[in-house]
Chain A
Amino acid sequence: MEVSHSPFPVTRRPFTISSTSGDSVEIIFEVVGRGTEILAETEEGQSLRLLGPLGCGYRLNPGNWLLIGGGLGAAGFPGLAASIDCGLVLLGAASRDRLLTIPGFETVTITEDGSSGRKGLITDLLESVQWDSFSSIALCGPVPMMKAVIGMMPAEARANAQVSAEARMGCGWGACEGCSVPKAGGGFLKCCSDGPVFSVDSIDWERWEGIHHG
């Protein structure tokens, strides 16, 4: 999305489409930098240039799904949950105002300050998960959170898990090689066109630091 009519910021900002209905798309975002700050100032009726949809989304496998989201990482879950057989949604966030809702699906929440659901981290919710009752897992959130979640997954669950990655992007369509995510076994994946959704095991988690906001 072009957040500004001015040449600056120069590049577009990448967003997950949260859901679609008719001729509209919903995008949920958090102000984390200058691009999203400008976007947040957009007024109703104003037009913005949008290029998309780009890249590869979740593989919508049949069977029971578990969705695990950290903060705004869950932005893509409303559309995903509606497209699959969604058994359970686990959402964690720093506080209630950064917690998304996925209406119509069984959801358990946890917040760091206890303002919604239990007080704690998303990993605290995982202790009671019956991993073998889910045939697919979707995971999205900050990289440290995703690393912690993956660390708790049994190997079989991990093999069925897909993550939606983020990176600083240039073009968004596979040409500039700007949005690299470390690839398991060496080299890099292009977040924009190889992903942004990847199987957990295709990423080299040791080398991946995610985005430094600020």
Chain B
Amino acid sequence: MDKTHKWTLWNREFNSPILLASGTAGFGLELMEQGFLEGAAAVISKATTLKPLVGNPPPRIIETRFGLLNSIGLANPGVDEVLRTVLPEAAGLPVPLIVNVAGETVEEFPAVIERLEESPVQFGYEVNVSCPNVAAGGIAFGASPEIVERISTLVKRVSSRPFSVKLTPNEGSIVESAKAAEAGGADAVTVCNTFLGMKVDWRTGKALLKRNVGGYSSPALLPLTVARVFITREAIKIPVLASGGVNRAEDILELLAAGAAMVQVGTWLMRRPDAAFELRKGVINLLKEPVRQ
């Protein structure tokens, strides 16, 4: 372990600033099998919901010229199955696991976390407020600072572990949402999630995704994340976990310099399952370089 380079999250020290972003690493089990978790500080699981979700009809992934549209639909086996089979297996992960939680109603978030608390495995939670609030006609929970604060308060009440609120860039003010998460007791915010995107076949006039719109991610989005991390960091005291557009070691250092405590790698992990190892090595090498003015 490198003695000089350390990053801290929730009173725990890591030799890497890299978190594997939710949805791109499963629960880390496939990557563990291949030894690809080396270099990662922690794995953030795919979303877990109260009931199992089969996910959206295919195609779920559309590659556009400069990025990727996804419409997975939070496919997951539900909290019962996650508790019964997935988390016991994840106990063998060589790095901590942060469980990502999603819901269709405000009450579902604390309900899922209350159940997850039965397991000793996870290090913390990431609360995905970018998903649609069914009771509010499908607008993301994250669009309303009041709802973000409410969810954070309810989660705080049932959780013995720290949690980050994963904010949406698509609706509302990310700064106001971050302040609301902090006010509700969140231990970090994740800035941010995929951008709402769409691909239309102009010949047929039809969207390629069955649900028309999906989440857009791309290395080209990095400056959008840097800006959001910077303005959010200025407004709150809790750590900011950066997410969006990272595919180089320089990107990680840039986000850390902009105020992030840790940096997530997501879409790039699909291309490079060993991304954490390579990127961490890159980060350490860059930090060893003499400082240039």
A residues lining the B interface (CB < 8 Å): 2, 7-12, 34-35, 51, 167-182, 186-188, 193, 207, 209, 211-212, 214
Contacts and interface: CB of A to CB of B under 8 A. Distances in A.
A211 B59 contact: yes
B160 to A, nearest CB: 28
B172 interface: no
A116 to B, nearest CB: 31
Contacts of A182: 57-58
Given A174-B26, A175-B26, A176-B72, A11 B271 contact: yes
Contacts of B31: 173, 175
Contact of A12 (B25, B34, B271): B271
B30 A175 contact: yes
B271 A168 contact: no
Given A10-B67, A10-B68, 9 more contacts: A7-B247, A7-B268, A10-B219, A170-B61, A173-B31, A173-B34, A173-B273, A178-B61, A182-B58
Most central of A10, A34, A193 by chain B CB within 10 Å: A10
Given A12-B271, A176-B24, A168 B60 contact: yes
Contacts of B23: 176-177
B54 A7 contact: no
Given A167-B58, A168-B62, A177-B55, A10 B72 contact: no
A11 B75 contact: no
B46 A177 contact: yes
B23 to A, nearest CB: 7
B38 to A, nearest CB: 16
Nearest to A211: B59
A109 to B, nearest CB: 31
Given A10-B271, A12-B271, A51-B273, A186 B63 contact: no
A175 B30 CA distance: 7
B30 A186 contact: no
Given A10-B68, A10-B267, A179 B61 contact: yes
A193 B34 CA distance: 14
Contacts of A212: 59, 208
B54 A11 contact: no
Nearest to B62: A168
B201 interface: yes
A179 B30 CA distance: 16
Contact of A9 (B25, B26, B63): B63
Contact of B60 (A34, A172, A175, A177): A177
A188 B57 CA distance: 9
Interface string B59-99: 11111011110101001000000000000000000000000
A208 to B, nearest CB: 8
Nearest to B31: A175
Nearest to B218: A10
B270 interface: yes
B270 A180 contact: no
Contacts of B58: 167-168, 179-182, 188, 209
A30 B169 CA distance: 39
B61 A175 contact: no
Given A8-B66, A174-B26, A179 B271 contact: no
Nearest to A183: B54
A13 to B, nearest CB: 9
